[in-house]
Amino acid sequence: MSAQILSGKEVAEAVKSRVRSDVAALKARGVDVGLATVLVGDDPASHTYVRFKHRDAEEVGITSIDVKLPADATQAQVLAAVDELNARPDVSGMIVQLPLPDHLDGEAAVERVLPTKDADGLHPFNLGRLLLDKPAPLPATPSGVMTILDHYGIDVSGMTAVVVGRSFLVGRPMALMLGAKGVDATVIQAHSRTPDLAEVCRSADLLITAVGRPGMFDASYVKPGAIVIDVGTNRTDDGLVGDVAFGEVVEIAGAITPVPGGVGPMTRASLLTNTVALATAASS
SS3 state of residue 49: helix
- The model's pTM: 0.95
- H-helix segments, the chain: 8-28, 44-59, 75-87, 106-112, 124-131, 140-151, 171-179, 197-202, 246-249, 263-283
Point out the catalytic residue in the list 16, 53, 117, 223: 53
The ranges assigned to domains in the chain are: 30-114, 140-264
CATH class belonging to 140-264: alpha beta
Residue 53 falls in the annotated catalytic set? yes
Asked whether the beta carbons of 38 and 97 are under 8 A apart, the reply is: yes
Return d(Cα 171, Cα 211) in angstroms, integer.
9
Band of residue 1 on the pLDDT scale cut at 50, 70, 90: low
The model's pLDDT over 185-219, given as tens digits with 9 standing for 90+, comes to 999 999 989 999 999 999 999 999 999 999 999 99
Band of residue 56 on the pLDDT scale cut at 50, 70, 90: very high
SS3 state of residue 128: helix
Return d(Cα 233, Cα 211) in angstroms, integer.
9
Band of residue 161 on the pLDDT scale cut at 50, 70, 90: very high
Domain boundaries 30-114, corresponding CATH code? 3.40.50.10860
Same fold, 30-114 and 140-264: yes
Return d(Cα 280, Cα 284) in angstroms, integer.
6
The amino acid at 201: C
Interval 62-75 mean pLDDT: 97
Point out the catalytic residue in the list 16, 22, 56, 97: 97
Residue 16 falls in the annotated catalytic set? no
Point out the catalytic residue in the list 118, 120, 230, 243: 120
Residues with Cβ < 8 Å from 164, sequence gap 6 or more? 171, 190, 191, 194, 197, 201, 207, 208, 209, 210, 211, 217, 243
Residue 68 falls in the annotated catalytic set? no
Q: Torsion angle, CA of 130/132/134/138, rounded to 10 degrees?
A: 0
CB-hemisphere CA count at 13 Å for 170? Answer: 23
Judged against a pLDDT cut of 70, whether residue 37 lies above it is answered with yes
The model's pLDDT over 231-276, given as tens digits with 9 standing for 90+, comes to 998 888 888 899 999 999 999 999 999 999 999 999 999 999 999 9
- Can you give the pLDDT at residue 235? 86
